[in-house]
Structure 1
Amino acid sequence: MKSIKRETMSKQVVDQIIELLTSRQLNPGDKLPTEAELTDMLFVSRPVLREALSSLETMGMIQRKTREGTFFSYRIGSKPFSIMLALSAGDIPAVMEARMALELGLVTMAAEKITDQQLEQLAELMHAMSLNTAGYEQIDKNFHRMIAYSANNPILEGSIDALLNMFDKTTNQIAQIDRDHLVTMQQHQAIFDALSKRDPLAAHSSMYIHLSQVRAKLVKPKLR
């Protein structure tokens, strides 16, 4: 590891510790050196090191276990993505575009990987939504979350929850969206049918139609 110059702060310590992972000196799940060893290796004070470790823990990069030590996480959760999203809070076009970019890729992969059990869970969610003509936002969110998880990609799993939660927080700040229950059900059915047929192109097209309609209701076109 490179020594840290005295004038630098915890961010550079964070970068150096992450470099242990990216350089494969350590792997996910491995135990980090002790605080005493890290302060010697990085030439920093213990308060600076502890600040860096706290930041890494907040981001879900590391886990501290009492009497065992500090370990790199096996999977990075949604915290890093949540932090980035927080910087765009209230920016409806940016949040909506991020959702489209992520979900269109996820539904395409889901069409290739989704299991029969996951399809059954989607069908149950659609049935629940058919019984709730009002106040079905949480069921809607779970429908999209299940599709994302069906892509079975650990790198992207941590992103979808943070993005859907930020979408809700952002849209709650504006007037209630004009939701059409029948249209939403029809669009979800089209997505489900494409996934059932394991058809990536149809799944992408159906999701694009659905999210484009949501975007049209949220993002007003700019006047020339």
Structure 2
Amino acid sequence: MAGNHNELQMRGIKRETMSKQVVDQIIGLLRSGQLKPGDKLPTEAELSGKLFVSRPVLREALSSLETMGMIHRKTREGTYFADKIGSKPFSIMLALSAGDIPAIMEARMALELGLVTVAAEKISEDQLAQLEELLRLMALRTKDYVDLDKEFHRTIAYSANNPILEGSIDPLLNMFDETLSQIALTDRDHAITLQEHQVIFEALRRRDAAGAFSGMYAHLNHVRAKVMKRLAES
């Protein structure tokens, strides 16, 4: 385990973009080698004192890191860096980009457009059946269907059967959903979303890579437009 927490070198945080700076500082403990994967972080009280930030700001940063799989919290034991964090540079980059909604949206588009074309070649009949069932459930649930939406995209990503890319999709979808919840999109059009998912599904069932790419692009571009519109209004 690493040395005394009192010896850790961390800079004070400026007022602007506090949460993001806290994330950067905590990840900096890994990059500098002061702490290692699996090590326990200082307590919230210690971190707040060292970084000169309030508990709410610190907890927001810790929540972002937890969403990325960078840290995990053990009840009554404290907060720890994930054991395998050294092999997850994507998660580190993503955590540092927390709050950069355009960049997160572009990263999701770039990853999923590639995955869906590969999925069109590799997807199994069982996975197609899973997608069809998710669409059926989504049609019945006109509100609060975000979990079904995410599972639909995750199933497609995993059907590409590429272990290198699989490690990227979950943290990216989690970050996107967390960001989306902060924007509070109230104008989600259930019918359009369902139709867009149906187009993607039909293309995958036909093993039509170009059609799957086109359908996914139309869907994600529509989501991006709604997100950016909401951002501009906020």
TM exceeding 0.5: yes
Please give the secondary structure, in 1, of the residue aligned with 2:112: helix
Q: RMSD over aligned Cα, in angstroms?
A: 2.4
Deviates more, 1:98-107 or 1:50-59: 50-59
Identity in percent: 62
TM-score by length of 1: 0.66
| C-alpha spacing 1:59/1:108, structure 2 compared with 1 (3 Å) | farther
- Larger relative helix fraction: 2
Check the 8 A contact 1:148/1:157 in 2, yes or no: yes
2:105 is matched with which residue: 56, 77, 96? Answer: 96
Check the 8 A contact 1:141/1:164 in 2, yes or no: yes
Check the 8 A contact 1:106/1:147 in 2, yes or no: yes
Check the 8 A contact 1:96/1:215 in 2, yes or no: yes
Match of 1:83 in 2: 92
User: What are the ranges of 5 or more consecutive residues in structure 2 without an aligned counterpart?
Assistant: 1-31, 40-69, 71-80
Match of 2:193 in 1: 184
Aligned length: 160
Match of 2:170 in 1: 161
Q: Using the TM superposition, give the Cα deviation of residue 169 of structure 1 relative to its aligned residue in structure 2, in angstroms.
A: 1.1
Deviations 1:108-153 (A, max 9, x none): 0000000001000000111110110111000000000000000000
One-letter code of the match for 1:101?
Answer: A
Q: Does structure 1 residue 213 correspond to structure 2 residue 222?
A: yes
Check the 8 A contact 1:119/1:196 in 2, yes or no: yes
Deviates more, 1:160-169 or 1:176-185: 176-185
CA distance in 2, matches of 1:84, 1:59: 17
Check the 8 A contact 1:60/1:80 in 2, yes or no: no
Check the 8 A contact 2:185/2:227 in 1, yes or no: no
One-letter code of the match for 1:201?
Answer: A
TM-score by length of 2: 0.63
Deviation above 3 Å: which 4+ runs of structure 1?
A: 48-57
Please give the secondary structure, in 2, of the residue aligned with 1:176: coil
Match of 2:182 in 1: 173
One-letter code of the match for 2:158?
Answer: Y
One-letter code of the match for 2:178?
Answer: K
Report the structure number with the largest CA radius of gyration: 1
Check the 8 A contact 1:184/1:210 in 2, yes or no: yes
One-letter code of the match for 1:144?
Answer: H
| C-alpha spacing 1:177/1:112, structure 2 compared with 1 (3 Å) | farther
Deviations 1:155-203 (A, max 9, x none): 0001100000000111122132421111111111100000000010000
Match of 2:122 in 1: 113
